[in-house]
């Protein structure tokens, strides 16, 4: 996923686009992350000023939610479901395989910035478990062969 480099004016424009919404912080943060790939430190004072919050409050919001990244992710983000329904179909063994092949732990990005491995707790695909998501694309009935294909795809 190609993301734009940090641009203060663009960031402020995104923040302004969302400031009229009730409870604007989350829509704003989602939009910023969509544009830049993560929530840069430089964005926090802009949000704080616009929403009349302290910078500490904005920091608190950003760090509360698992979705918001503080660092850029790899070009691909592979999310593997760790929740119970996927566990019952061998999800843990698949996660161990992915970690071993990528030499990564959860939340890590490989050295060449090609893939970030993340846990997810339920994609609602529990009747076709184990499930995964690669760059927003949903994958069910995951097995070792399909996972290897995804890892090949993500490694590029």
Partner 1 sequence: MSLRLYVPRDAGALAVGADEVATALSVAAQRRNVAVEIVRNGSHGLFWLEPLVEVVTPGGRIAYGPATVADADSLLEAALNNAGPHALRLGPTAEIPFLKRQTRLTFARCGLTDPLSLADYRAHGGYKGLEKALAKTQAAIIEDVTQSGLRGRGGAGFPTGIKWKTVADAAAPQKYIVCNADEGDSGTFADRMIMEGDPFVLIEGMTIAGIAVGATKGFIYIRSEYPHAVATILAAIGIARREHLLGTGVAGSAYDFDIEIRVGAGAYVCGEETALLDSLEGKRGMVRAKPPLPAHHGLFARPTVVNNVISLASVPTILSHGADAYREFGMGRSRGTMPIQLAGNVKYGGLFETAFGPTLGELVDEIGGGTASGRPVRAVQVGGPLGAYFPRALFDTPFDYEAFAARDGLIGHGGIVVFDDTVDMAKQARFAMEFCAIESCGKCTPCRIGSTRGTEVIDKILRDEARDANLALLTDLCATLKFGSLCALGGFTPYPVMSAVNHFPEDFGPRPSLAAAE
Q: By CB under 8 A, name the binding residues for partner 1.
A: 21-27, 29-30, 51, 60-61, 64-68, 83-89, 120-129, 131, 133, 136, 138-141
Cβ-based burial of 20 (10 A; exposed 0-12, middle 13-18, buried ≥19):
exposed
The Cα 61–Cα 101 span in angstroms is: 34
- Closest contact distance (angstroms) between CB of 9 and partner 1 is 23
- Kindly tell me which of 98 and 133 has the beta carbon lying closer to partner 1: 133
The Cα 59–Cα 143 span in angstroms is: 39
- Kindly tell me which of 1 and 21 has the beta carbon lying closer to partner 1: 21
- Closest contact distance (angstroms) between CB of 111 and partner 1 is 26
- Closest contact distance (angstroms) between CB of 112 and partner 1 is 26
- Closest contact distance (angstroms) between CB of 150 and partner 1 is 12
> What Cα–Cα distance (Å) separates residue 3 from each residue in 37, 46, 94, 101, 130?
6, 20, 29, 26, 29
- Kindly tell me which of 92 and 112 has the beta carbon lying closer to partner 1: 92
- Kindly tell me which of 15 and 111 has the beta carbon lying closer to partner 1: 15
- Kindly tell me which of 72 and 140 has the beta carbon lying closer to partner 1: 140
- Closest contact distance (angstroms) between CB of 42 and partner 1 is 20
């Amino acid at each position: 996923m190609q993301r734009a480099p940090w641009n203060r004016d663009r960031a402020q424009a995104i923040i302004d686009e969302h400031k009229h919404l009730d409870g604007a912080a989350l829509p704003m943060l989602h939009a910023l992350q969509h544009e830049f790939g993560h929530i840069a430190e430089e964005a926090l004072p802009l949000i704080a000023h616009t929403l009349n919050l302290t910078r500490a409050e904005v920091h608190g919001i950003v760090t509360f939610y698992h979705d918001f990244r503080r660092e850029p992710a790899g070009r691909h983000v592979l999310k593997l479901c760790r929740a119970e329904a996927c566990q019952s179909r061998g999800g843990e063994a698949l996660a161990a395989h992915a970690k071993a092949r990528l030499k990564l732990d959860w939340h890590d990005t490989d050295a060449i910035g090609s893939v970030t491995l993340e846990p997810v707790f339920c994609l609602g695909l529990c009747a076709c478990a184990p499930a995964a998501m690669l760059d927003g694309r949903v994958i069910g009935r995951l097995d070792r062969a399909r996972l290897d294909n995804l890892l090949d795809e993500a490694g590029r």
